[in-house]
Structure formats: structure tokens, C-alpha cells
């Protein structure tokens, strides 16, 4: 894994030095905020860091977005809190900041598919995650279109279904995933991945029923597998393209002190009640009615004080999730309307 990380850093530095992509004004990252169940994340936050623990986090490297839609989609919903960071300040304290190239399979394949693993929120150190990565690639590939391209003939419907079933069976994907997991350090391009997996795919075809061998044999070649992997990787990655994700070269992301930390607070009916709750000014009757919401606010306030977060960030803002959710619903409705108008 050390070799993988060193290779990745070298590649990121090369991209950083040649990239003409301008630095965004803001970066956004959504995180958990829960001292009871995720004290390690809270301690990292107090150190102005977001840390991915190898083998324990959802991925091996830290990803973040330059799109405020990340805030609208995840804040107080999928994640408890969101950090909004100044782009220049962020760049000053983090090395090798690179934007994910969603349509570039060589970028996504570099260093044992490290960037692709990040998008899938998988760990390179987990064998079961290799199975999920292979599954995502084959499930997203343009299988029938690729069959037509390699033979330059119209693909029979039965042959197309047979090939789809063959490539998507776990009996076929599992040995491919095992080969991937055992040889991550050999993969630095799409072609490396093709060269690694093709002998395994050939062997799986030889073990198939004779009628499958007869029907699929004319299609399966290195050229076929290259197109399958190309379309599978790119199609799967493009599902996340709207996130505009970036990465740093390590599992530790430094957070500028000029950042604003937004914490998803309780959802209540009015702003007046929310402010009274934050100030600890609710009446006994209001406390009884809003026990869940009051407990949540108390826990947030206790964590802010425990980790001295108001002195670690430019601002710490507890968001009224009642107001925020109403704004989110309007934003989502507008997105649907714009998407429909563009059809």
C-alpha cells in the first residue's frame, strides 16, 4: 500500500503541474458530527483535519467538492455537518489538489484504480470491495454495443443477453476481483487493467458450458475487454460527475481556520423557537414538547464547547433544519423543472 500511495502522489503532482484548471473560490465537504458514535472524527475536526483511516473509512483518500450542490444534497441529511473552505487558503495548506477526471479511464485506473475506488467509496485494502468495484464496472459497461463494435455485425438478441449474464455473474466477477485485489500495484493505466484481467476472463469462458463458449467466443478478445472496461469505468464514474469532486494526495485533509462549519441542528416550526432553543431560553412546557429537538441541540452545543470549535473555525453555525429542508425542497423542485425543460 505504501508503494501505491507514493505512485499516486507522483501522478497527482504531475497533473497539478500541468493542469490548466483554475482554483475554485470555495470547497465543500460534508462530514459526520457525532461525539457518541464518531469521536475520532470529532477529535480530527478539533485539529482542523478530515482523516480517512485506512481500512476503516469509506475510502482511502479524502474527496471534496467545488459545487455548493454538495451542501444542499448532503447537509443534515446524508451527513450531519458541512465545512465551507476558501479555495486559496485550502490550497496553501494541502498538497497536490487535483480534480477528478470522470471521463478519463487512465486517470481513474491510475495507482490501482485509486480515484475510482474513491468515487465508489471503497477501500483498496478490502478484498470484498474489489468485488464491488468489478461489479460496478461490469454492471455499467456498454456490453451489447461493444459486441457490435468488435465484430462490426448486428448482435443477435440471444447472444447479447448471454454475454450480459456471463459478465455479470458472480462466478465470473469473483475471480476477476481476486486478481484485481492481488495485483493493485501493477495497475497504472486502462491497458494495465486489460492485460491483468484478460487471462482470467479467458479462463472463465473455457470453464463455461460449451454452448456459451460457441456463442461468446467470437466476441471475447483483449479489444473487447478494453472497451468493456473503458465504458464500464467511465459510465460508473459519470454517475458522480455533478459532484465536481477533487482529491488530495493523502488520507489527511487539512481544513483552513478561515472555514465555516455548518452543523445540522434540530428541525422546528419557527425561527423564533429555534433561536430560543439555541439560547437555552425555552419554557418548561416548550422543553417538554420539544424534548428530542432540545436533546439534539444540547448535544451539539456540548460538542462545540468540548472541542473548542468556535476557536478552530471562522464561524460555527447551527442550521435550523426546518428552514433548511424547506429551502432544499425548493432547490430540488427547481432542479427537476430545469431538467425537464432541457429534455
Of 62-66, 136-140, 156-160, highest mean pLDDT: 136-140
Place of cell 429534455: 343
Burial of 59 (0-12, 13-18, 19+ CB in 10 A): buried
Q: What is the pLDDT of residues 235-252, one digit of tens each?
A: 999 999 988 899 987 889
Cβ-based neighbours of 165, under 8 Å, separated by 6 or more: none
How far is 265 from 275, CA to CA, in rounded Å? Answer: 11
Q: Which three cell numbers stand for residue 250?
A: 493523502
Q: Give me the residue label for grid cell 419554557.
A: 283
Answer whether 218's CB lies under 8 Å from 212's CB.
Answer: no
| Model confidence at 180: pLDDT above 80 | yes
Is the model's pLDDT at 9 over the cut of 50?
A: no
263: Cα separation from own chain's centroid: 21
Dihedral sign for Cα 48, 13, 121, 91, please.
positive
Q: Please provide the average confidence, as pLDDT, over all residues in the chain.
A: 90
pLDDT at position 55 is 59
- Neighbouring C-beta atoms of residue 126, cutoff 10 Å: 16
pLDDT per residue as tens digits for the range 306-330: 999 999 999 999 999 988 898 889 9
Q: Which of 294, 256, 317 is nearest to 85 (CA)?
A: 256
How many whole angstroms separate alpha carbon 117 and alpha carbon 181?
12
Percentage of the chain beyond pLDDT 90 is 70
Q: Give yes or no for residue 254 having a pLDDT over 60.
A: yes
Question: Kindly report the CA angle at 149 between 147 and 153, in degrees rounded to 5?
Answer: 80
Q: What value does the mean pLDDT take over residues 38-66? A: 87
Angle at 46 between CA 44 and CA 52, to 5 degrees: 15
158 sits in which H/E element: helix 157-168
User: Could you tell me if 212 and 162 are in contact, meaning their C-beta atoms sit under 8 angstroms apart?
Assistant: yes
- Give the pLDDT band (50/70/90) at residue 57: low
> Which distant-in-sequence residues (6+ apart) come within 8 Å of 129 by Cβ?
117, 120, 122, 123
Extract the C-alpha cell encoding 41: 472524527
Per the DSSP assignment, residues forming a β-bridge with 75 are 79
Q: Is 30 exposed, middle or buried (0-12, 13-18, 19+ CB in 10 A)?
A: buried
Residue with cell 478552530: 312
Block residue for cell numbers 478484498 = 127
Give yes or no for residue 10 having a pLDDT over 80.
no
What pLDDT is recorded for position 278?
Answer: 84
Domain boundaries, the chain: 1-102+244-270+310-343, 123-238
Strands 245-247, 98-99: pairing kind: antiparallel
Stretch among 24-33, 68-77, 201-210, 287-296 having the lowest mean pLDDT: 68-77
Amino acid at each position: 500500500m505504501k508503494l501505491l500511495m507514493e505512485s499516486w502522489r507522483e501522478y497527482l503532482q504531475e497533473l497539478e503541474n500541468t493542469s490548466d484548471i483554475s482554483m475554485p473560490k470555495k470547497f465543500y465537504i460534508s462530514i459526520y458530527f457525532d461525539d457518541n458514535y464518531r469521536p475520532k472524527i470529532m477529535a480530527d475536526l478539533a485539529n482542523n483535519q478530515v482523516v480517512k483511516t485506512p481500512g476503516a473509512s469509506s475510502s482511502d483518500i479524502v474527496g471534496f467538492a467545488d459545487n455548493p450542490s454538495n451542501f444542499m444534497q448532503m447537509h443534515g441529511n446524508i451527513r450531519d455537518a458541512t465545512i465551507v473552505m476558501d479555495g486559496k487558503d485550502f490550497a496553501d495548506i494541502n498538497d497536490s489538489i487535483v480534480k477528478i477526471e470522470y471521463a478519463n479511464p487512465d486517470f481513474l485506473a491510475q495507482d490501482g484504480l485509486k480515484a475510482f475506488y474513491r468515487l465508489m467509496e471503497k477501500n483498496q485494502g478490502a478484498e470484498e470491495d474489489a468485488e464491488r468495484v468489478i461489479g460496478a464496472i461490469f454492471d455499467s459497461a456498454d456490453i451489447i454495443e461493444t459486441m457490435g463494435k468488435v465484430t462490426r455485425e448486428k448482435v443477435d438478441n440471444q447472444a447479447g443477453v448471454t454475454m450480459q449474464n456471463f459478465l455479470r455473474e458472480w462466478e465470473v466477477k469473483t475471480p476477476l476481483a481476486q486478481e484485481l485485489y492481488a495485483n493493485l500495484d501493477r495497475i497504472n493505466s486502462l491497458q494495465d487493467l486489460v492485460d491483468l484481467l484478460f487471462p482470467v476472463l479467458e479462463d472463465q469462458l473455457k470453464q463455461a458450458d460449451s454452448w456459451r463458449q460457441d456463442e461468446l467466443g467470437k466476441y471475447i478478445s483483449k479489444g473487447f475487454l478494453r472497451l468493456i472496461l473503458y465504458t464500464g469505468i467511465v459510465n460508473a464514474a459519470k454517475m458522480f460527475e455533478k459532484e465536481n469532486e477533487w482529491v488530495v494526495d493523502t488520507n489527511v485533509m487539512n481544513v483552513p481556520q478561515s472555514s465555516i462549519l455548518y452543523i445540522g441542528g434540530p428541525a422546528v416550526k419557527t425561527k423564533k423557537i429555534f433561536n430560543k432553543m439555541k439560547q437555552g431560553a425555552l419554557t418548561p412546557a416548550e422543553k417538554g414538547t420539544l424534548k428530542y429537538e432540545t436533546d439534539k441541540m444540547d448535544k451539539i452545543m456540548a460538542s462545540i464547547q468540548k472541542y473548542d470549535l468556535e476557536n478552530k473555525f471562522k464561524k460555527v453555525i447551527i442550521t435550523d433544519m426546518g428552514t433548511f429542508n424547506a429551502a432544499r425542497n425548493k432547490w430540488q423542485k427547481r432542479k427537476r423543472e430545469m431538467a425537464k425543460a432541457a429534455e
